[in-house]
Amino acid sequence: MSQHPTNDLPTIQEVKLDRRGFLRKAGVVGAALPVAGGMIAAACYDDPSGQKLEPTGVPASDVKPNPNPATQPGTPEAVSEEWKKIDADHQAGVVNFLKNQKEALTEGRGNVPLEPRIENGVKVWDLTVDEVDWEVSPGQVEKARGYNKMIPGPILRGTVGDRVRINVTNNLEHSTAVHWHGIYVPNNMDGVPFVTQEPIQPGASFTYEFTLRNSGSHMYHSHHDSADQVNRGLLGAFIIEPADKSAYPKYDREVVLIMNDSLLGFTLNGKGFPATDAIVAKKGERLLVRWMNEGMMYHPMHLHGMAMEVFERDGYPVNPPYKCDNMDVPPGSRYDCIIECFEAGLWAFHCHVLSHAENSAGFFGLVTVLAVEDENFKVADILSRVEALDVPDPRLRVAAAGATAGQDIAASAKGKGAFTLWCETQV
């Protein structure tokens, strides 16, 4: 049955959404920006934790479907206002996400590379452990903790055979320690208080030093009161390249995506939708994605429109590699995959435990997009249609989980968005 267009929804002078991705290029100025139905399918897990649900004892014959508000008694006006609000809230979140790709809607950005200094042939990094007020999504500021005042902490990168030294200074009000998750280290460098070292007390420092022996996508994080400290942001990526890269898969671009949950909400690289960064590549390119789950829940990450070829888990080869579009990343695990970017457009990329990603108020948490450019689809065209950051309609407000309900998104000098940064590199 065809649907008749309506003029009751707010209109945004932007680009249009389609049914397969978040949007297509070349929306007509002044056209409505409808959120298409059926964008994301049903979740594949029984419970957000990944555990099995216990039987309820209710016979299957007695289970009745939830009532459809559209078929229940009530005034047509009430039913109409309900679906219009759901549509408008979804639209508002997507519009704000696009604006975040032009200019950041939140303070702070983590997961940025930290170059080492060289001292007598040793790569040296300095890490501070800090109390921070971290803006997860627009208006959601949390009491958090970060390495070098960012979440995730800076990316450390070395090569097998490198001698490394990491000087850690604890500026917290509590003790801490740093564990090098997945990395071969001497026992006294493993970072577990009262097992391999004393805790690093408030105001104290500790130096970790070891030689890199095993390649892969690894992590560093607190191992002291870790359910609190890691979930509040004490985590980061440590990438160790193989000494011989001849057998390593070829790729054109790389992205590190670190998931977390619980105390700061559902985050991807420290941010929740609509403040997450989009990923951009060109059609025909091979994109390396390094997945890391620092949270306490399972997150099956689903890519629309293309497949991910998994070739390493926890730094160890997966032989033979396998393809999937829904990758289950358990807590503490790291998966490396290659995406062949063969189809242009904006493709949804989200956790498929849908209570981590979408509700009646729209997308939130573990949601981003993969933008694949070709000669006809350019993110620069999207930027040209993104209006000034003030939301023009009072109904277009962020109300999804993890954001401050009823908050308008206003302009700020918080940094350039992912699409803006991409366009600057293409000049």
Delimit the domains of the chain by residue range.
117-241
Angle, in degrees to the nearest 10, between helices 418-426 and 76-102: 40
- Residue 427 is predicted with a pLDDT of 65
**Average pLDDT of the chain?**
81
- Residue 426 is predicted with a pLDDT of 83
Q: Average pLDDT of 272-279? A: 96
- 3-state SS, the chain, equals CCCCCCCCCCECCCCCCCCCCCCCCCCCCCCECCCCCCCCCCCCCCCCCCCCCCCCCCCHHHCCCCCCHHHCCCCHHHHHHHHHHHHHHHHHHHHHHHHHHHECCCCCCCCCECCCEEECCEEEEEEEEEEEEEEEECCEEEEEEEECCECCCCEEEEECCCEEEEEEEECCCCCECEEEECCCCCHHHCCCECCCECCECCCCEEEEEEECCCCEEEEEEECCCHHHHCCCCCEEEEEEECCCCCCCCCCCEEEEEEEECCCCCCEECCECECCCCCEEEECCCEEEEEEEECCCCCEEEEECCCCEEEEEECCEEEEEEEEECEEEECCCCEEEEEEECCCCEEEEEEECCHHHCEECCEECECEEEEEEECCCCCHHHHHHHCCCCCCCCCCCCECCCCCCCCECCCCCCCCECHHHHHHHHHC
Give the best-scoring range by mean pLDDT among 87-101, 119-133, 383-397. Answer: 119-133
In the CATH hierarchy, which fold is given to the domain comprising 117-241?
Immunoglobulin-like (2.60.40)
Residue 386 pLDDT level (bands cut at 50, 70, 90): confident
Tracing tokens 């440590």 back to the chain, one arrives at: 238
Q: Average pLDDT of 123-138? A: 97
| pLDDT higher than threshold 70 for residue 85 | yes
The CA distance from 34 to 404, in Å, is: 23
**pTM score of the predicted model:** 0.79
| pLDDT higher than threshold 70 for residue 247 | yes
Per the CB < 8 A criterion, the answer to whether 256 and 354 are in contact is no
- Residue 387 is predicted with a pLDDT of 60
- Residue 399 is predicted with a pLDDT of 33
Task: Give the lowest-confidence range in 29-38, 46-55, 138-147.
Answer: 29-38
The CA distance from 135 to 55, in Å, is: 39
pLDDT tens-digit map of 311-344: 999 999 999 999 999 999 999 999 999 999 999 9
